Structure 1
Amino acid sequence: MRNVEAGAVALLGDLVRIDSVNPGLVPGAAGETAIVGHLRARLQASGFVTTVVPAPGRPGRPSLVAVPPGPAAGPALVLNGHLDTVGVAGMPEPFAPRLDGDRLFGRGAADMKGGVAAIVAAAEHLVATNAPVRPVLALVADEEDASLGSEAVIDALPGLGVRPDACLIAEPTDLALTRSLRGFAVVRVRFTGLAAHSSQAGLGVNAVTHLGRLLHAVDERSAAVRAGGGDLMVTVARGGESPFVVPDHAECLVELRTPAGRDSAGALSEVRSLLRPEWYATAELVAHRDGWRLDDTGPAAGLSRRLGDELGTGPTFDAPYWMEAPLWQRVAPTLVCGPSGGGLHAVDEWVDLRQVRALAAALVTVLAAWTPDAD
């Protein structure tokens, strides 16, 4: 088992050294091409059959699927992780992994190259030891932005002969099993006013004033939304162009976080209910994703219990943010568990190497004897 743990830590260092900043977040950034190339070469050398899956219409945004060699025998478990990271502004050496005891610092160390390293090392060991489970690695692009990678890979799996019995996502959770995660929605509201000289304000219609009234309405409504397990806020606001002119346009983005089980598309009605006819406002749903909850029974619930027993954790984490579990749940029962640290999306990001080692070792132990029917 020490070889698996050491292999995961060594791979993590290699992955952090590769710039994989998401160009959807930082225009001109490197993207996932280099890191996919590195992992593909490694997994091919380990005997996996690899397929690069492009994001439709997005050149330079590949994902990687790695399938064990031989016939499709035994239960198939998708091990999923994302390869992209957020930007590196303010980080002096973001791609130079630095050790401080059991902490490894660097961009992506916790979110989520630590989890990727653990699942790759575990999958390689399971294949090398002829374990009865078929670990299928789905290492995807663009999770930090629009989930182009997971959606492309999910569409590609049937053509690759992959019909998973379950899926494990190794997102950072401090090795706790994720019990639920919230959905989200973003609504754009535009206000139309009437321009006039500010010395004759009565001749115009001030769009910024109406924007301010919506800001107040959102603030008043937010307490009730929070009491129901969600969050409501305005995250972007802008309006007008110059002094001495009554502004004839304004807009804002209203964000709603929704508890598991609530339709995130309902955010549009929620926001529209706050608008008044005299504000001359229109609202449109820009993006939305539903929340998710771990199954009570079935393969994911059973695997969650076994993995929790091995790690000494349980299904106690209710994520306040969104992850890609709802996408993978459409394909197979899904669970989320991975190593954490600190500084996610910050300049001092780090991952706890003890958790990276623990996840790699636990996956080997649990999956060597896993059968979904027994759960």
Structure 2
Amino acid sequence: MASSTQVERIKLGSQGLEVSAQGLGCMGMSAFYGPPKSEPDMIALIRHAVDSGVTFLDTSDIYGPHTNEVLIGKALKGGLRERLQVATKFGISSADGKGNRQVRGDPAYVRASCEASLKRLDIDCIDLYYQHRVDVRVPIEVTIGELKKLVEEGKVKYIGLSEASTSTIRRAHAVHPITAVQLEWSLWSRDVEADVIPTCRELGIGIVSYSPLGRGFFSVGSKLFENLSKDDFRQYLPRFQPENLVHNAKLFDRLHEIAKGKGCTPSQLALAWVHHRGNDVCPIPGTTRIENFNQNIGAVSVKLMPNDMAELESIASADNIKGSRYKSTMITWENSDTPPLSSWNAA
């Protein structure tokens, strides 16, 4: 049964894409957060989401790898495709057969990845196609140039970037309009507010917030780690290491107190904060349970006043968080600048 919560639609960016104000991150259904979940259950969850008004699905070719796109493709059957906006990503390759990953943005790889995703999703056109991580060896103009061709061929409707710096965003946007930038933005990941968010707004680029619940931390706090499987990569993230977790748990405790006063759950409060950061922002919380999904979309009904926002932001300042988002070896927007185009032409 669909939820009674009304999920509005928003314009994501200035190029014409319209999506539900909250999306559904599908990664955890197939990868990174423990073993893959039951396919029939996940298809039922996706269809429940669409019936509830959440029509913006987020996946990537690296989730599985590949199996999450296949799952989404199966869920789209039965007339659901026309009601959905499907976002997927390319750029993180695991093709060496040894489990090693590399970032690629060369034209041949861009095109091959798109063709493969279309086949796995069993669709004719990808609504929003992101570069998942920026290849720092390839000028961004070269990567976007190939994506532009895919748009012209009707295989992609809109282009996005994930974890891109302001200079990369500007250079990409000059080649072809960027519709959305996906970035980690939540109460404890606010570093993008200084430069990346303002740049997106200056250029009319929509903002997609991934991990808006702090990878599940804002749902249950440190209890999250009581039942994590050994292959759940959250166990290895700096913020979740014992020396940092005890400190960060204080943030959740304070969030829980404020949520009680607002008559909502901590996760709803954390999501509501993201929603209140602007009507150009679409958070994409992931879940594998219908009951958690229903709770998440309840966040769109939580109203926050300026004093509520100020209080939340005071307890979620950078000084109150210990540990970085990722290990230092992982590429993020802070180290995503690419070489100048002239270097590629000379190669």
Higher share in helix:
2
TM-score (norm 2): 0.26
Which structure shows the bigger proportion of residues in strand conformation? Answer: 1
What TM-score comes out, normalization by structure 1 length? 0.25
Rg larger for: 1
